[in-house]
Amino acid sequence: MDGNIDCNWFKSWFDSPYYHILYANRNYEEAELFIDNLLSILKPEQNSHFLDLGCGHGRHSIYLNKKHFNVTGIDLSVESIKYAKQFENHSLQFYVHDMRKPFGETKYDFILNMFTSFGYFETDNEDFSTMENVNKALKTYGMLVLDFFNVEKIVPNIAIHEVKTVNGIEFTIDKKLEENFIVKNISFSDKGKKYHFQECVKVLTLKDFEKYFYANNLKIVDLRGNYNLDTFDSKTSDRLILFAKKNK
């Protein structure tokens, strides 16, 4: 990977309080609407067990649990899991975990990977390893729901320069395509100190996901294009939300 790209960006950025300041608009109301829409399609039985893979602060997990489902949330970010743990109960648990490593012995009815929580890793092998772990953790005929951005719409309009002020902090954001990654450079100052963080997400098409899934016994059974779960259109949809079922 190019020396200008930090392939471990997520380890520092997700643990930074500024990540949550910049993306404060990702609120619980938005998460709850998305989960309600998902449940109307998935129609899970009441004793279903969900794994929220890359759960962040746990907003999707918490709401799922309020709907009386068993939920486990895992994330690499120590600070995110520390925050989420305040909501734990007998049917809601959070753990620090790297999705490239096996998830343990528990088998899940549903695995959710929300809000572009995939495609961070430098090599295809790491992505394949993650999908292998998903396959092993799903029950037979279990379902993976993976929410990614639609590269066919995003990439042609990728170059942006944006200044965004949140909580009195002025974030300068520059986004561009480098190699096969969308790279977002985020710069700002706070309390007299300058900061710079980076987000790097692999450009993954539907064909790429088909390749990952096919190799790991997962079959795409539905595609949706936004959080209202409207039908996916490769030219106009903002999101690529994949529903993949584990075969025998």
Do 215 and 128 meet the contact criterion of CB atoms below 8 Å apart? Answer: yes
The two structure tokens encoding residue 124: 């295809």
**Residue 151 main-chain phi, psi, to 5 deg:** -65, -30
pLDDT digits (tens, 9 = 90+) for 36-81: 999 999 999 999 999 999 999 999 999 999 999 999 999 999 999 9
Predicted model pTM:
0.92
Residue 204 pLDDT more than 50?
yes
Parallel, antiparallel, or unpaired: how do β-strands 218-224 and 239-246 relate? antiparallel
Length of the chain: 248
pLDDT (0 to 100) of residue 11: 83
Which residue has 């039985």 as its token pair?
A: 45
pLDDT (0 to 100) of residue 103: 96
**Residue 209 main-chain phi, psi, to 5 deg:** -65, -40
Q: Could you tell me which CATH number the domain at 9-150+205-246 has?
A: 3.40.50.150
pLDDT digits (tens, 9 = 90+) for 111-164: 999 999 999 998 999 999 999 999 999 999 999 999 999 999 999 988 789 999
Parallel, antiparallel, or unpaired: how do β-strands 49-53 and 70-75 relate? parallel
At residue 176, what is the residue type? Answer: K
User: Cα Rg for the chain, rounded, in angstroms?
Assistant: 18
Q: How far is CA 3 from the centre of its chain?
A: 25
Share in percent of the chain as helix, strand, coil (round to 5): 30, 35, 35
Residue 248 pLDDT more than 90?
no
